[in-house]
Chain A
Amino acid sequence: QTVVTQEPSFSVSPGGTVTLTCGLSSGSVSTSNYPSWHQQTPGQAPRTLIYSTNTRSSGVPDRFSGSILGNKAALTITGAQADDESDYYCVLFMSTGRWVFGGGTKLTVL
């Protein structure tokens, strides 16, 4: 069974830039996996940041961007702010017709 991989944790300084990645245990991520990125703070419903690789959801600031970097999907946050401290999840579409979430990345801003 294919596993979607994410860094368990990451740290960034306020104002800094961080790139989170989303890979596959077998194979490469492409635009055909329609990667999307979702932010969740404790006790809240998730919020979509990016879908279809690089389309920003309504109201999401342009310091969040999505791309394919090498064989992974990537979420880049530029000018990190304190309230970016959250869990970030990617989800990928598989050729079986199913979607699979990664385990999430806990981002700390300090």
Chain B
Amino acid sequence: EVQLVESGGGLVQPGGSLRLSCAASGFSLSGYYMHWVRQAPGKGLVWVSRINSDGSSTNYADSVKGRFTISRDNAKNTLYLHMNSLRAEDTAVYYCLRINGGDWGQGTLVTVSS
């Protein structure tokens, strides 16, 4: 069974950092582009970032570019999102997503507040 399990969310102060992880099982991450998507409370889905299958190419939404870094460890079958200089508007549930295959994680909540 294919599963994506996010972890690493929590409460962080403005300006702080967090690293989210997305552990994949049931398939090899190395064959797929992977994405991070977020959803602020009561709002719609917003695409955050994408990484290609070997990690050599990444893309970011303007709102996070320069602050967030997507990476992957195919040997560990895990996707990451390193988040720096966090702002209140980054508060959201963060999901990892394999679009080709159609698999979502259950999400991890990041709350940025003092």
Chain A residues engaging chain B, CB cutoff 8 angstroms: 34, 36, 38, 40, 45-49, 51-52, 57-58, 60, 87, 89, 91, 96-104
Q: Per DSSP, are chain B's interface residues mostly helix, strand or loop, or mixed?
A: strand
Which of B8-16, B73-81, B103-111 lines the interface with chain A?
B103-111
B41 to chain A, nearest CB (A): 11
- Asked if B46 is at the interface (CB within 8 A of a chain A CB), the reply is yes
Contact call A91/B47, Cβ cutoff below 8 A: yes
Contact call B102/A36, Cβ cutoff below 8 A: yes
Give the size of the chain B interface in residues (CB under 8 angstroms).
22
A1 to chain B, nearest CB (A): 8
Chain B residues engaging chain A, CB cutoff 8 angstroms: 35, 37, 44-47, 50, 57, 59-61, 95, 97, 99-107
Bound-state CA distance A39–B63 (Å) is 24
Which residues of the partner chain A approach B107 to less than 8 Å between Cβ atoms? 45
Contact call B95/A101, Cβ cutoff below 8 A: no
Known A-B contacts A34-B99, A51-B100, A57-B101; the reply to A98 vs B45 at CB < 8 A is no
A4 to chain B, nearest CB (A): 10
Bound-state CA distance A7–B99 (Å) is 22
Contact call A38/B61, Cβ cutoff below 8 A: no
Contact call B45/A99, Cβ cutoff below 8 A: no
Known A-B contacts A89-B45, A104-B44, A104-B45; the reply to A97 vs B101 at CB < 8 A is no
Which residue on chain B has the smallest CB distance to residue A59? B102
Contact call B44/A48, Cβ cutoff below 8 A: no
Bound-state CA distance A101–B48 (Å) is 10
